[in-house]
Amino acid sequence: MKTVLITGGTRGIGKATAFVFASHGYQLALSYCTREDTAIKTKEEIEKEYGVNVMLVKADLSKEDEISKMVEDVYEKYPVLDCLVNNAGIAIDTLFEEKTKENFLKTLDVNLVGPFLLSRMVGDKMKDTGCGVIINVSSTSGLEMTYPESLDYDASKAGLISLTHNLANYYGKEIRVNAVAPGWVNTEMSQDLEKDFYKKQLSSILLERFAEPKEIGTAIYFLASEEASYINDTVLRVDGGVKR
């Protein structure tokens, strides 16, 4: 039975991704940071629907010791990890002129430095077993500038794409490393957008709607699957198409 570790796997895109992997028979390790009740509910829902093992791990990705402990705990339960999905992320939108060093660094820590540390810890173990797949959840905002309020988030997601290329080159033939770059997705992160801004975003998408989390989870699963065995070191946009 194959195993996947999905960070932030208990709600939003991570939860939808967990369901897709579970539907293909994977056993799961799902990390969360603060929302334990949500995590337990997700675990129960997946176990009920698919009957696979679901392990929950609490870890703040901005803390190296918590990442190390998570890796230790996951490998104690599952000796082999086939796939790592670096999904967890934060966006602290503030006016450009109000951006602080503290928030900038927090965003980089959670969205980029944490995934780097985790990928190296897991990647080294995957290399020992001779195979593995890593998928980073970036964003179209890592490919092009979005709006000044999102500067720190965009920088972290651009960094995640750079990390993808660097990991793919570092690990070579044993580990495939790819990224997905979603556009807007209907999750808590994209709720509460100001009405005019929401309309403007919607009008720039060819499919004229935001993605559902499952549509991103399906793309992530595809990149992890044997069907994508020759896809490596690349970024898959999942954004409904851009009006030009």
Ligand X SMILES: NC(=O)c1ccc[n+]([C@@H]2O[C@H](COP(=O)([O-])OP(=O)(O)OC[C@H]3O[C@@H](n4cnc5c(N)ncnc54)[C@H](OP(=O)(O)O)[C@@H]3O)[C@@H](O)[C@H]2O)c1
Footprint on this chain of ligand X (rule: CB under 6 A): 7-8, 10-14, 32-35, 38, 60-62, 87-90, 110, 137, 139, 182, 184-185, 187-190
**145 vs 197: CA distance, rounded Å:** 16
**173 vs 40: CA distance, rounded Å:** 37
The pair of structure tokens assigned to 151 is 């500067």
Percent helix, strand and coil across the chain, each rounded to 5? 55, 15, 30
Catalytic residue, from 26, 78, 153, 221: name it.
Answer: 153
The pair of structure tokens assigned to 210 is 């935001």
**177 vs 22: CA distance, rounded Å:** 21
Closest CB to ligand X among residues 123, 182: 182
Closest CB to ligand X among residues 80, 193: 193
Q: Residue 204 Cβ, how far from ligand X at the closest point, in Å?
A: 14
HSE, side-chain direction, 13 A CA sphere, residue 13? 30
Residues 6+ apart with CB under 8 A from 58: 31, 32, 33, 36, 39, 66, 70
Closest CB to ligand X among residues 37, 98: 37
Amino acid at residue number 130: G
Closest CB to ligand X among residues 61, 81: 61
Closest CB to ligand X among residues 99, 127: 99
Active site residue 170: no
Q: Residue 193 Cβ, how far from ligand X at the closest point, in Å?
A: 10
Are 214 and 234 within 8 A, CB to CB? no
Q: Residue 168 Cβ, how far from ligand X at the closest point, in Å?
A: 19
The pair of structure tokens assigned to 15 is 């939860």
Catalytic residues: 153
